[in-house]
Every structure is written in C-alpha cells, then in structure tokens.
Amino acid sequence: MTDYLILIVSCIFVNNILLMQYLGNCPFLGVSKKMETATGMSMAVVFVLVMAGAITWIVDSFLLKPFDLEYLRTLTFIMVIACLVQFVEMFLRKSIPTLYAGLGIFLPLITTNCAVMGVCLINIMEEYSFIQALVASFAYAIGFGLALVLFAGLRERIALARVPKPLQDTSIGLVTAGMLSLAFFAFKGMV
Amino acid sequence: MAKTAVQEFTKGLWAEIPPFRLVLGLCPVLAVTTGVENGIGMGVATTFVLVCSNVLISLLRNVIPKKVRIACFIAVIATFVTVVELLMQAFAYPLFLKLGIFIPLIVVNCIVLGRAEAFAAKNKVIPSFADGLGIGLGFTLSLGALGGIREILGSGMFYGMPVFGPSFQPFGFMVQAPGAFVCLGLMLCVMNMLGKK
C-alpha cells in the first residue's frame, strides 16, 4: 500500500509531468489562458491518459514483447492512442453528450499531446506492473491537471498586469512557468 | 520554381523560426537543451524526420483520402521516427541514451505534424523538401542556441570545454527544469525586441 502511495506522490509532485519532465507543454501554454479551458483539458487528459496507459501496457506485454516487436513500439503506441481518442470521441458524442460538450474540442488535441505518449512510454521503461501502470497514469494525469489549473490561475492574473511589450503573452507565460516549476522543485527531496 | 524553394527554405530560419515564431514543439526544446550537443543532436533527428515526412507526404498528397489524412500523416511520421531511433541506436548510442524518451516523442512533436498538414499536404515535392529543411534547420539552431546559453551559464562549459576560469561558480539553476522555462521565455522576449526594429 505504501508503495502505491509513494508512487502517487512522486508522480503528482516530484516528477510532475509538465514542470519536471517537460511533457505536454504545448497544451500547457496553449489552453492555459482561461480557467475553463484549462479544467476541460485537464479532465480530458485524465480520461484519455488512464485508458491509454492501460491499453498500451496490454498491447506491449501481450503483443509486442512475445513476438520481439519492440522496435515497432513508437508506431504502435501512437496508432493505439490516435484510435483510442477517436473512439472515445465517438462514444461520448453518442452516449454522454453532456460530457462531450465539455471535453469535445480538447479530445482531438490529445492525440498530439506528448504527455499521453510520454506516460505510456515511461510505464514501459520503468517496467511497471499493470496495476502500477494504471496508478501511475492516473497520478501523472492528476499532476498534469494540477499544474495546468494552477498555471491558468496565474495567467488570468497576469493578463491584468502591465507587462512590458516584448515580454507579453508567451514570453511572460514561460517565465511564470519557470517560477511555478521552481515551486515544484521544492518537492524534490520528498520521495 | 527555384526562387520559391529558396524562399521556403529561408523563411524557416527567421520569419517562421520554430519554437520562437511558431510556439510549437516545446517539450524537446525545454527538455534536451541542457547542453549544445544534446540540443543539436535532437535538432538533427527532428530535421531528418521533418524532411523525410514532408517529402513522402507531398508525394502521396493526391492519394491520401482527406478524411483519414491525419492518421496517415502520423503513420508516415512514426515510421521515420522509428528509422531515426534505430539509426541512433546503431551509430550514436551515447546520444541516444541521453535523449532517451524524447526520440520516440518526435512523433508527437507538433512541428512535424503541423508542417505536414499546413505545407506538405498542399505543395509540390521540392518546396516541401525546402520547407522541411528550413524549419528543421531553424529548430536545430534554436535548440543549439538555447543549449549553449544554458550550458555556459549552468555548468560553465561550452561543448564540454570549460569557458571560464576555475573560480567560476556554475549557475546550477539554468540546467534544471525552472531554468529551461525562464531562459526560453527571456529568449522569446529578446526575439520580440529584435523583431520590432
């Protein structure tokens, strides 16, 4: 039990996917201007990442490893993720329209979100068991959401401040992300 | 024809230089630029994928059905990424180990897919080749520059050679995660200032 607790804490805080592993930074800067889009994106990532983590683990262990096809991992994983995102989108549109209305526009973006692909690859590289991979995927996704929502809050405030012209927009956003990353840096000694 | 190809090539070096003008593909930019060598290695790998996928997609642009084009593009890109991965394992193993997870992640680098969708799918082979090469070179230059700044300030070295005297105290912040964000943000600011004039 404590093992899983440590895994969760280390995935959310210590190895935060956005600020420490530098994965998924395009949506981090792209959708963080408003709180609503940030929460929508975070939820979509949690949803897809857990499913992608589980499915890629199964594909890797039962399809790629037994047949010595590890060199096809990149190709297989991206295809699995792309198909998964497509299916999730179709499924949600048909059966849970309210959830689809909230997540809809973010789902296609997730295919090229390197956080999803990155976590799937990390799960394999760290040789996690199925349950560990599932827990890690979920915790990474929560860490992604946490950082994104925090950052969106900061950016909403910065929009009101008077920033020198060349520093505006993405530039000040990156510097702010640096400061946020510095705060997360303090978690390093925890695990 | 020749003129347009040159234009497509040069626009990648300044007017549309990626990470700065097109804020795309930031993850490898931040992650691997702890030194010049890593930065340039990553840049070259990405350029290779960019050029090959641009050329192939441009050749296939009339064959690929519109509805499934993104899936086809990703398949093409993933194939070339696998090629790069295997080539690096064979010929540049230390660099492969350093770049680690970011080599397979070229697949999801938005720059590559972005150029495929925005340029190669609509243009002939030669301009697409020039576009891929230009953007790739611009990307490599930016990664090299960022890597250089971070390496000089963060560990007092350039390409593994010490630049300052022994009394220099390395500014460790720069080679860590927060330094990457701050450094890129400030470089973007400088680019904006230069662009204004």
Structure confidence by residue, pLDDT tens digits, A18-60: 888 888 887 788 788 888 888 888 888 888 899 999 999 999 9
Give the distance from residue B88's alpha carbon to the nearest chain A alpha carbon, in angstroms.
13
Q: Find the residue in A nearest to B28 (Cα).
A: A22
Q: Has residue A1 been placed in a domain?
A: no
Q: Has residue A44 been placed in a domain?
A: yes
ipTM: 0.81
Looking at the predicted structure, is the pLDDT value of residue A125 above 70?
A: yes
* Domain hosting residue A33, numbered range: 6-189
Please state, in angstroms and rounded to a whole number, the distance separating the CA atoms of residues B158 and B26: 23
Please state, in angstroms and rounded to a whole number, the distance separating the CA atoms of residues A101 and A43: 12
Residues in chain B closer than 8 A to A19 (CB atoms): 177
Burial (CB < 10 A; 0-12, 13-18, 19+), residue A190, is exposed
Residues in chain B closer than 8 A to A150 (CB atoms): none
Check CB contact of B179 with chain A, cutoff 8 Å: yes
pLDDT of residue B3: 61
pLDDT of residue A104: 64
Question: Taking CB atoms and an 8 Å cut-off, how many pairs form between chains A and B?
Answer: 128
Residues in chain B closer than 8 A to A18 (CB atoms): none
Structure confidence by residue, pLDDT tens digits, B128-138: 999 899 989 98
Q: Has residue A136 been placed in a domain?
A: yes
- Cβ-contact A28, A103 below 8 angstroms: no
Looking at the predicted structure, is the pLDDT value of residue B114 above 70?
A: yes
For chain B, positions 58-77, list CB contacts with chain A under 8 A: 70-71, 74-75
Domain count of the fold of chain A: 1
Cut 0.90: pTM above it: no
| Of A108, A59, A62, A64, nearest in space to A87 by CA | A108
Of A72, A114, A170, the CB nearest to B23: A170
Lowest mean pLDDT among A88-102, B45-59, B80-94: A88-102
Check CB contact of B104 with chain A, cutoff 8 Å: yes
Give pairs for B58-65: CB < 8 Å, separation 24+.
B58/B120, B58/B121, B58/B123, B58/B124, B58/B125, B58/B128, B58/B129, B59/B125, B61/B120, B61/B121, B61/B122, B64/B121
Check CB contact of B125 with chain A, cutoff 8 Å: no
Kindly provide the residue ranges of all beta strands, DSSP E only, lying in B26-164, ordered along the sequence.
157-158, 161-162
pLDDT of residue A191: 66
Q: B1 falls in which pLDDT band (50, 70, 90)?
A: very low
Mean pLDDT score across all residues of chain A = 86
Q: Has residue A48 been placed in a domain?
A: yes
Pairing of strands B161-162, B157-158: antiparallel
Q: List, in order, residues 6 or more apart from A45 with CB less than 8 Å away.
A: A24, A27, A110, A113, A115, A116, A141, A144, A145
The SS3 of residue B20 is: coil
Place of tokens 């460790």: B172
Of A71, A174, A179, the CB nearest to B82: A71
